[in-house]
Structure 1
Amino acid sequence: MTGHAGIKALVFDVFGTVVDWRSGVARAVEPFLQHHAPQLDAHEFADAWRREYSPSMEEIRSGRRPYVRLDVLHRENLVKALAHHGIDGVSADELDELNLAWHWLDPWPDAIEGLLRLKRRFIIAPLSNGNIRLMIDMAKRAALPWDAILGAEVVRAYKPSPRVYTETAEILGLPPDQVCMVAAHNGDLAAARGCGLKTAFVKRPNEHGPAQTTDLSAAQQWDFIADDFNELATRLGCAV
């Protein structure tokens, strides 16, 4: 692992790295499922909804579909997840309300303290596939102390497309090697490293629940490897 000299900004994956999407979505859909499908586990439904995430973005990354924001994809994916489980007769208003589940997610216990420490020394911003309003709503509810909202909607492309990383660095007015991508996902970091960014892996072994099998450890020798944001802040020389 390398030192932090030269790094001016940290940009963060959000779903899974900063916030616990699985628990938050399950909590939000529980009352709906109690009414429409009481036999269905809320976490199982959250997983089914999330499984549509990457395939829906691939339609855009591949050029088969023009860019649309993640709120649009999430709503379409919700309809697919409901159909998969045989749930029908859901009104448009109910769908819109359920779709807001992604706006109200809770941060991991270390996230706020760690971000505040990192913010004293570095520019910090999300580099998420989430759209701007989603990121704003989440930040305001959870008190995420971002300096800016960056990511997919700003550059109108989805990670891991290279332009998401390179254009984000350009927006910050920095060369890529002065920007560090922070993520709990090895694939995200590999894409960022390929674009010249520094990389920091933060372990989130429960992102997908107790049976998680992916991203349990660093797949490469990333520039920084930490168990949580506070450890990352310490490694980056940020005071408590």
Structure 2
Amino acid sequence: MSPSLTDFKVLSFDCYGTLIDWETGIWTQLQPFIAHLPPNHPFQDRDTLIRRFNEHQRQFQRDQPKILYNEGLAGCFIKLADEAGIPYEQAEAEAFGNSAGSWPAFPDTVEALKVMKQYYKLVIISNVDNDNVHRTLEGPFAGVEIDAVLTAEDMGAYKPDHNNFRILFDTIEEKFGAGKGQLLHVAKSLPIDHVPAKELGLTSVWIARGPGGSTAMGGDVKEFEGKVAFSWRFASLGEMADEVERAFAGR
């Protein structure tokens, strides 16, 4: 029997990439860097730059699971600058690393979260450091009630580490009396969120933003055939919120 959106008590969300426009945030903050590049440089292409940035970030997180997200962002900035032969100041890298808290929410995020808050407890499980997450909560998410926030800084590792999800399971049991079967994970990234969700038997929703759902940070679903098993696919969080309302209205 297929699950229903009314079966769940708690929604857990990846934040940066699913709720916050990670790619636009990165691209916007890198504009001063891009301005130094020659017109024909590959990094002038947004998708190419974001993919390369994402490769550096994933490497940092694999090699240094204790590194803070803002420090990893700064490290990625330096690696890109070194690759491109662009001079930089350490202060520029640090400012870039501390920018995540100012990145914009997707246009549908805030209202969709307010709708879903009527039916579920809301939890963020993020790879971003505490300072940047708190600035997001106070800025782009102002007026949205989030019931719990878990960060890589507090958990000591980055998704897709299974232990982060085990901490999530323990947290919802302790705070809300909910088991894993009452938890629905909502995310964009296939490798970071949906692969471990399948491996751990966690029901998930794919927020498939972008053409065909494929983006530089989220991955291409064709590459992950057999490795992911999301139960729902929506083109946006707003589309999911509409379906949630329909499901509960018809219960």
TM-score (norm 1): 0.83
Residues 141 and 38 of structure 1: CA distance in aligned 2, closer, same or farther (over 3 Å):
farther
- Closer, same or farther: CA 180–60 of 1 in aligned 2, 3 Å: farther
1:163-174 to 2 correspondences below 5 Å = 163-173=163-173, 174=178
Task: Report the Cα distance in structure 2 between the residues aligned to 1:215 and 1:106, rounded to whole angstroms.
Answer: 25
Secondary structure of the residue aligned to 1:180 is strand
Kindly tell me the number of residue pairs found equivalent between the two proteins.
230
Counterpart CA distance in 2 for 1:22 and 1:8 is 30
Separation in structure 2 between the aligned mates of residue 185 and residue 27 of structure 1, nearest angstrom: 20
Change (3 A) 1:109 1:95: same
- How far 1:8 moved relative to its partner? 1.6
How far did 1:117 drift? 0.7
- Looking at structure 2, the residues matched to 97 and 185 of structure 1 have their Cα atoms a distance apart, in angstroms, of 25
**Is it true that 1:193 corresponds to 2:183 in the alignment?**
no
User: For 2:86 and 2:49, how far apart are their aligned partners in 1?
Assistant: 11
Within 2, Cα distance between the matches of 1:231 and 1:152?
Answer: 28
Q: CA deviation at 1:78?
A: 1.4
Identify the residue that residue 154 of structure 1 maps to in structure 2: 154
Percent of counterpart pairs with the same letter?
19
1:84-138 Cα deviation digits (max 9, x unpaired):
11012x2222221122332221122221111111112111122121122111112
> Secondary structure of the equivalent of 2:32?
helix
Q: 1:238 to 1:92 in 2, by over 3 A?
A: farther
Quick one: distance in 1 between partners of 2:239 and 2:224?
15
Equivalences for 1:74-223 in 2 at 5 Å?
A: 74-88=73-87, 90-143=88-141, 145=144, 146-173=146-173, 174-187=178-191, 188-205=193-210, 208=215, 214-215=220-221, 219=225, 220-223=228-231
Within 5 Å, give how 1:23-102 maps onto structure 2.
Answer: 23-34=24-35, 36-37=36-37, 39=39, 41=44, 43=46, 44-60=48-64, 67-88=66-87, 90-102=88-100
Deviation, structure 1 residue 53:
1.2
Give structure 2 stretches of 5+ with no counterpart. none
Hey, what's the Cα distance between the residues in 2 that align with 1:190 and 1:93?
36
Question: How far apart are residue 31 of structure 1 and its match?
Answer: 3.2
1:134-157 deviation digits (Å, cap 9, x = unpaired)? 111123221262232213222111
Q: Match of 1:64?
A: none
Partner amino acid, structure 2, of 1:83: D
Return 5+ residue gaps in structure 1 as ranges: 62-66
Letter in 1 for 2:195: A
Aligned partner of residue 201 in structure 1, secondary structure: strand
Q: SS state of the match for residue 113, structure 1? A: helix
What letter matches 2:156 in structure 1? R
Alpha-carbon distance in 2 for matches of 1:98, 1:77: 10
| Alignment partner, residue 14 of structure 2 | 13
Contact 2:75 2:93 in 1 (8 A): no
**Higher relative helix content:** 2
Is the contact made by 2:204 and 2:229 (CA closer than 8 Å) also made in structure 1?
no
What secondary structure, in the 3-state scheme, does the structure 2 residue paired with 1:106 have? coil
CA distance in 2, matches of 1:229, 1:57: 27
Q: 1:216 to 1:12 in 2, by over 3 A?
A: farther
Cα gap change, 1:49/1:217 in structure 2, threshold over 3 Å: closer, same or farther?
closer
TM-score, with length taken from structure 2: 0.79
